[in-house]
Structure 1
Amino acid sequence: MSAASRRRPSGAAQPPVVGVVLAAGAATRFGGGKAVARFQGERLVDRAVATLTAGGCDRVLVVVGALDVGAVHHAILVLNPDWTTGMGSSLHAGLFAARDAAAVVVTLVDQPLIGAAAVKRLIAAWRDGAPIAVATYDGRRAHPVLFGREAVADVLPTLTGDAGARAFLAERTDVVAVDCTDTGRPDDVDTVEALRRLSP
């Protein structure tokens, strides 16, 4: 099959591309409440939603746990009742809620320097035929990660407890690496001090 024949059509009649923000962790090192912490005057959860929306996602889901994040504009909250078991269960909750999407773009709530351009590049790679696309920064895989519909069905049974998609992605030979080095940085914010020190 040629690259041209694998390209996916775009348009309003197509199933949506859905963004998923993982925001259900306990954030113990942060002291809790990480999703609603502010960076440059904006809550981290709102910033992540805005990034996915600006990047081309038609709808955004935010996976939450015990923390009450309040209203999140332009997003739908998805409760992960098993959030204490780890990120794998949150990824499962988000992907399951978006399982009818054409593709799902996953990002983390605590990486505020991820850029909308990275999301756009992953979606472009998927439209060009990539079943799975992963952003890379200086050659290293990070977020966001895009799963096409078929890949969502494949990865869901592998997600249990704290086991995320890393092993699944490592075994797949059809993962397309998309260089996003110039679009932002995938810095994790694990502590309040780390958030204070963070700068674009």
Structure 2
Amino acid sequence: MSTAGVVLAAGAGRRYGMPKALVRHGDRLLVQHAADTLRAAGCTRIVVVLGAAADEVRAAAPDLPETVVNPDWATGMASSLRAGLAALTGTPATAALILLVDMPGVTPEAVRRVIGHSAPDALVMGGYGERRGHPVLLGRDHWAGVARTATGDRGARDYLRSHEVRTVPVGDVADDYDMDTP
């Protein structure tokens, strides 16, 4: 099975005060950290969806894998999710692993565990105790439905709530903290 990785990194980071893709995390930017996580986990192709300050992000992180710019980034995460899935259309990917740029606690091991369930009909989320969260795996059979129902900042949430989703425990190797404020 071929699993592609998609980093959603298009937002302006209003609550944070700047685009999170440009935030430093250790010696790298968050966007580089997210791409490195997917690479280390074995994703066969990685697409980084940019929007706010896209040119600045590309200049600051020239080592990013394939990037696409979401012209509708200001409408919320859903448009970035659609842009990422659209970039995978016509590829041999059987599933897409979705990772948010502002979750540096998601590790390659957590991603590998979720990717271990890749299939065209897969819907898988990382589990943190009683909570489900990222990373999220969307099998190719679900891409059109996710794209059709994704709105605003809800992303695939409504679609996932209306379908059976496998939860894979990852809380022992990752955390689901998202960086909303400095």
TM-score normalised to the size of structure 2? Answer: 0.90
Partner amino acid for 1:29? R
Q: What does the per-residue CA deviation read over 1:167-189, in whole Å, with 9 as the maximum and x for residues that have no partner? A: 1100002x111000111101010
Structure 2: which 5+ residue stretches go unaligned? Answer: none
Q: 2:57 aligns with which of 29, 46, 69?
A: 69
Match of 1:5 in 2: none
Partner amino acid for 2:30? L
Pairwise CA RMSD of aligned residues? 1.6
Structure 1: which 5+ residue stretches go unaligned? Answer: 1-9, 11-15, 193-200
In the alignment, structure 1 residue 112 sits paired with structure 2 residue 88: no
Q: Mapping of 1:7-156 within 5 angstroms?
A: 10=1, 16-67=2-53, 68-70=56-58, 71-99=61-89, 100=91, 101-126=93-118, 131-156=122-147
SS in 2 for 1:155: helix
Distance in structure 1 (CA, Å) of the matches to 2:84 and 2:144:
12
Identity %: 44
Runs of 4+ in 1 over 3 A off after TM superposition: 160-163
Deviation at 1:153, TM superposition (A): 2.5
Distance in structure 2 (CA, Å) of the matches to 1:45 and 1:149:
24
- Larger-Rg structure: 1
Partner amino acid for 1:75? P
In the alignment, structure 1 residue 191 sits paired with structure 2 residue 171: no
Distance in structure 2 (CA, Å) of the matches to 1:177 and 1:66:
32
Q: What does the per-residue CA deviation read over 1:141-173, in whole Å, with 9 as the maximum and x for residues that have no partner? A: 110100111111321111234341111100002
| 1:55–1:130 CA distance, 2 compared to 1 (3 A) | farther
Corresponding residue pairs, total: 176
In the alignment, structure 1 residue 169 sits paired with structure 2 residue 151: no
Deviation at 1:34, TM superposition (A): 1.7
TM-score normalised to the size of structure 1? Answer: 0.82
